[in-house]
Amino acid sequence: MRPNMVVPLFSSYPRRCETIISRLFGSRVVAKASAPGKLILFGEHFVVYGMPAIATAIESRTVAEVQRAEEFSLLDNRPETPGYKKEKHDQQSDSIRRMLKAMGLEGKKVRIVLGGGLIAASGVGASGASCAAIAAALNEEFGLGLDRDKINDVAYEGEKGYHGVPSGIDNCCSTYGGFIHFRKDLKTGKSIIRQLHSKARLSIVVGNTGLTSNTTKVVGDVKAKRDKDPEKFQRIFDNYSKIADEATVSVEKGDLVKMGLLMNMNHLLLEGMGVSCDELEELVELASKNGALGAKLTGTGRGGLMIALVTGEAGSKIASVIKKAGFHSEIMNIGAEGVKVIR
């Protein structure tokens, strides 16, 4: 099921008019789209095994500009955690190749420029956001008329270039926006998405370890550990299932205290699966000691980001304590709009 929301279609009509005008008068019009990053509030890694996860789109976005050109080129102007773009360069090339193929545009020569305020970093859905934005901009440039669901399918193809066989939660979040309850049906491979409406205004502080993680590797390591000790992992999975059910209710009700407790529990399970690291533990501890309702790693782990649920003054206090400890930190606005074309 697709999220129950009013979704404007990506009308290619204005774009076609622009293309005709540009051909008549010789000007070059660039197709542009933007998509938000994401934070996983509950359920990273568990989601790979068919369990539910809850994620939200954040206000920072990646902007993709696409234009037909004499030859293929990519200019990546996104701000980054140092080293991120270099480390992901080959995966990014594979990702774009996959998306062009999925859209029937294989071999087409385009100039792609990436920008926007979303920091290219692990944990924030940087690849998912860029895939959704590129897919939507290509759709505009070539007047394909794909709707949001199809854009999401293309972005998922792009995500495979980065993450092997990802669950698809990141591209769904970047495509549809808001808060999503996500589950992957492992039998059919289909994403089951439900838009959540929270009664509370959630405030999240992010702490960045500054370390880039490799999702394919970390997901593979978790699988190897599970194969080695299936009983331990079954216990962890059973515990998480209860957390996931309660988390959905607490997000919808806006029960922040409960949500915070569940985030702490979720983090402990992730730590038990071996996906935390010293820097993430330090960030979780700093947030917890300075008034967070709950704190956990978010995304792949072994680097990337920590998120803390906060109320009132605690947010700025935690952000400044984290900065003093030498990490980047910011208070994030969440529940943002999904991918959109920029005119």
Q: Which two tokens stand for residue 107?
A: 């071999």
The span from the CA of 164 to the CA of 305, in Å, is 21
For residue 307, list its beta bridge partners. 206, 296
The span from the CA of 217 to the CA of 211, in Å, is 14
Q: Name which of 15 and 38 has its Cβ closer to ligand MEV.
A: 38
Residue 260 CB, nearest approach to ligand MEV (Å): 21
Q: Name which of 40 and 202 has its Cβ closer to ligand MEV.
A: 40
Tell me which of 94, 149, 153, 170 is the catalytic residue. 170
Is position 170 annotated as part of the catalytic site?
yes
Q: Name which of 191 and 250 has its Cβ closer to ligand MEV.
A: 191
What is the DSSP code (8-state) at residue 277?
-
Residue 297 CB, nearest approach to ligand MEV (Å): 10
Residue 95 CB, nearest approach to ligand MEV (Å): 14
Q: Which two tokens stand for residue 6?
A: 């009013």
Residue 29 makes CB contacts below 8 A (sequence gap 6+) with 18, 19, 21, 22, 67
Place of tokens 């934070």: 39
CA dihedral for 120, 121, 125, 128, sign (positive or negative): positive
List interacting residues with ligand MEV (CB under 6 A): 40, 44-45, 47-48, 163, 166-167, 169-170, 215, 219, 299-300
The span from the CA of 28 to the CA of 290, in Å, is 53
Residue 164 CB, nearest approach to ligand MEV (Å): 8
Q: Which two tokens stand for residue 260?
A: 């915070």
Catalytic center residues? 170
